Amino acid sequence: MIQRSARLPIRPGRVCMLSLVWYSATMFAQSPGGTGPAHVIHILGFQDIPNNAGGELSIQEDALQFRRSQGPAARISINSIQNVSLGALDKQVGGVPMAVGRAATPFGGGRVIGLFSHKKYDTLTVEYTDTNGGLHGAVFQLDKGQAQLIKNKLTKPVALETKNENN
Amino acid sequence: MRTIRTAFAVAILAVLPTAQTGLFAESSGAKSSTPRDIWIVGRWSVQVDKVDPGAVSLDPAFAAAIYENLLDELAKTKRFKQVFRSGDRKATELHDLLILKTTVQQYTPGSETRRAVTTVSGATKLNVRSQLRTPQGQVVLERVINGNVRFFGGNLRATHNLARNVADTIRHSTLPQPAPAVAESED
C-alpha cells in the first residue's frame, strides 16, 4: 500500500504528451503567419544599428522599422528600397560558450555535438539609398519562413494598397 | 672532443638570440620605412562601387556584406580623405576620386556545421578582383584578393576577412598622386 501511494499522480507519458502539445501550440503561435513584428538579428548595414543586434523588424506605414529592446528605432522609407532578396543560413547555435564547450569535450564528443547543434535561418537583404543617393545594404537574420513574409509586404505595390484602402 | 662540441653548442645558443633580435629589428625597420607621408600629402577619396557577382551565383547577403565591410575597413585605413558609397551625389564633384570596383571571381559556399564536425572541410572561400579606377576609367591598382573562413565563425565572416585583406592591400600599395584641382579662373 505504501508503495502505491508513493507513485506519481501524473504519468510521465501524459506529461510528455502534454509538453509536446504545448510546444506545438507555442510554435504555431510564433509561426510566420502572424502579422506582428518579426524578431530578427541585424547582421550589418541598417542605419547606425550595431552589428549582430537583436530587435524587431516591422513595417510601419511607409517605413521599414527596426526596434531594439532599448534605444530609439531606426527606420527607412519603403520608397528608398531598391531591392529585397532572400537567402539561407545554417548556423551553429550557442555562440562562443557553446564553441568552447565543444572544444573542451573529450574524445571528439564536441564534433558530435556540432552535428546536432545547428539551426537554419533565413536572411533578408535590403538594398536602399540614403538622402544623398548612396547605396546601403542591410542584412537581417530571421527564423525560417519569416523573410518571405516581410519581402512580400515590402514588394507589395503601394499604389494598389492605397487603392484598396480607398474602396 | 666532447668539450669542443659542448663549447660549440653553447656558442651557437649564445649567438642565436642576437641574430633573431637583429632580424626582428630589421623587419620592424622595414615596416616603419613605408612611405606613410605620401598618403598624407596627396590623399584620394574613394567611392566603393556595388559588388559585381560576375559569373558566380553569389548569395545577395554576401554581396551586401562585402560592400558594407569594404566601406568600414577602407575608412579604418585612414588612407583616403573620404569614403563614399556607390551612387553618392557628393562624390561626383570631386577631382581626386578613385572608384573601387570589386568583381567576384570565385565563391565556394561553406558550412559552419561541416567546419565544426570535420575541421578540415566546409571552408567558405571568396576570391575577388579589386580595381581602383579613376572616374575616366584608368586603372590605378588591380589585385586579386582572397577572403576565407576555415575554422571559427559564420560563413559571412569570409566577407569581413576579404574586406580587411582588400583594405590591407590598398594600405600597403603606392598610389599615384591625385591631379591638382583645375582652378575656376582658368575656365
The CATH number that applies at residue B134 is 3.40.50.10610
Domain count, chain B: 1
| Separation in Å, CA of B16 to nearest CA in chain A | 37
Q: ipTM beyond 0.85?
A: no
pLDDT digits (tens, 9 = 90+) for B86-143: 999 999 888 899 999 999 999 999 888 888 888 788 899 999 999 999 998 999 999 9
* B163 vs A: CB within 8 A: no
- Domain annotation covers residue B25: no
Interface test with B, best of A42, A51, A90, A98 (most B CBs within 10 A): A90
| Residue type (1 letter), B161 | N
- Cα distances (angstroms) measured from residue A153 to each of A120, A156, B61: 22, 5, 19
Question: Do the chains contact at A92 and B112, CB–CB below 8 Å?
Answer: yes
Contact indicator for B144, B129 with CB cutoff of 8 Å:
yes
pLDDT at B52: 95
Range of the domain at B52: 43-171
Nearest to B68 among A44, A87, A110 (CB): A44
pLDDT at B145: 96
| Separation in Å, CA of A12 to nearest CA in chain B | 34
d(CA B171, CA B180): 22
- Domain annotation covers residue B131: yes
- Domain annotation covers residue B141: yes
Q: How are strands ordered across the β-sheet holding B124-133?
A: B83-84, B45-48, B97-108, B124-133, B139-149
What pTM was estimated for this model as a whole? 0.74
Question: Can you give the pLDDT of all 167 residues of chain A as single tens digits?
Answer: 445 545 555 565 555 444 444 544 444 344 444 447 899 999 999 999 999 999 999 998 889 999 998 888 999 999 999 999 999 988 888 888 888 888 888 888 888 888 888 889 999 999 999 999 999 999 999 999 899 999 998 886 554 444 444 44
More confident residue, B36 or B44: B44
Nearest to B113 among A87, A90, A138 (CB): A90
- Domain annotation covers residue B74: yes
Average pLDDT, chain B: 80
Angle, helix A109-116 to helix A95-104, in steps of 10 degrees: 150
- Domain annotation covers residue B178: no
Secondary structure of residue B50 in the 3-state scheme = coil
d(CA B30, CA B11): 29
- Cα distances (angstroms) measured from residue A96 to each of A7, A99, A102, A125, B47: 43, 5, 10, 25, 35
- Domain annotation covers residue B14: no
Q: How are strands ordered across the β-sheet holding A74-77?
A: A74-77, A63-67, A53-60, A38-44, A135-143, A118-129, A81-92
Chain B residue numbers touching A132 (CB-CB < 8 A)? 85, 88-90
The residues, ordered by sequence, that sit 6+ positions from A126 with a Cβ below 8 Å of its Cβ are: A46, A64, A76, A81, A83, A84, A137, A138, A139, A140, A154
Judged on CB neighbours under 10 Å (0-12, 13-18, 19+), A118 is middle
pLDDT digits (tens, 9 = 90+) for B23-34: 333 333 333 334
d(CA B125, CA B130): 16
pLDDT at A103: 83
